Structure 1
Amino acid sequence: MSNSRFYYVLALCGHLGLLGLLIVWNVWLYPPTIFPVAIVLLFYIGPLLLPLQGLLHGRLYTHAWVHFLALFYFTVGVMIAAANREERWYAIAQVVLSIMLFMGSMLYVRYRAREQRMNAQNL
């Protein structure tokens, strides 16, 4: 398995893991009490659905800008872990998955671009 393929799988695992974790967390484990569940899902999970097609197709541009999205989920996870004792382990899982997404997508862009340059030089 090439480096870019490994980091592609790492980014996808982080992204899909975040999707799954946030759905389970906000729908079944700790549903929100202040806002309706649908509103929370729209604002909390909706942004993860935007880059899904580009990530699944391995587009470099999508992997490059998904870093900003991963940083948002990292920050929210750290805040929840620090503030809410009951949901701390779910927030730590969110932090780990957002780091997987961030590192996987960043290194996928790096190694995939390098592989594409090498293939272009060899032609």
Structure 2
Amino acid sequence: MASALPPSVTYTRALAVASLLGLIALGLAWELWLAPTGRHLLAWKVLPLALPLAGLLKNRMYTYRWVSLLVWLYFTEGVVRATSDRGLSVPLAVIEIVLCLALFAACALHVRWRLQQAKAAGA
């Protein structure tokens, strides 16, 4: 089925997976090495991001839909930390914001284009 998808849909899938992996890597690196807050328990915040990875890789439409909602929690964290933290946390928060926006856009476009493709195939 993945080979029948248009290139734009394949691109949004790749962007969504890359953005999600980027958020996971950033969250772990941020809390464990780059700018630790002293509480390594904050690294657990990336666990909910690991859950949808399999669904995105299997191209499950439902996963794209709920990830586009989940990502706003991390976007909010990025905005709060970009405006309230100091030092290295500020650029890390900006990177988090950019990754969140890329993930949301990729998921939203992926769902839209797949629905358009399904509608065109059914017509």
Provide the aligned C-alpha RMSD in A. 1.3
TM-score by length of 1: 0.88
Gaps of 5+ in 1: none
Q: State the partner residue of 2:86.
A: 85
Q: Which stretches of structure 1, 4 residues or more, deviate above 6 A after TM superposition? A: none
Q: Identify the range of structure 1 (69-78 vs 110-119) with the bigger mean alpha-carbon deviation.
A: 110-119
Shift of 1:120: 3.2
Instruction: Return the letter of the residue paired with 1:77.
Output: G
* C-alpha distance in 2 between matches for 1:69 and 1:13: 16
Gaps of 5+ in 2: 1-5
Q: State the partner residue of 1:109.
A: 111
| Structure 1 residue corresponding to 2:36, chosen from 11, 14, 31 | 31
Q: State the partner residue of 2:51.
A: 50
Does 2:22 correspond to 1:21?
Answer: no
Q: State the partner residue of 2:3.
A: none
TM-score by length of 2: 0.88
Percent identity for Structure 1 against Structure 2: 34
Bigger RCO (CA 8 Å, 6+ sep): 1
| Structure 2 residue corresponding to 1:41, chosen from 40, 43, 47 | 43
* C-alpha distance in 2 between matches for 1:20 and 1:110: 28
- What secondary structure, in the 3-state scheme, does the structure 1 residue paired with 2:16 have? helix
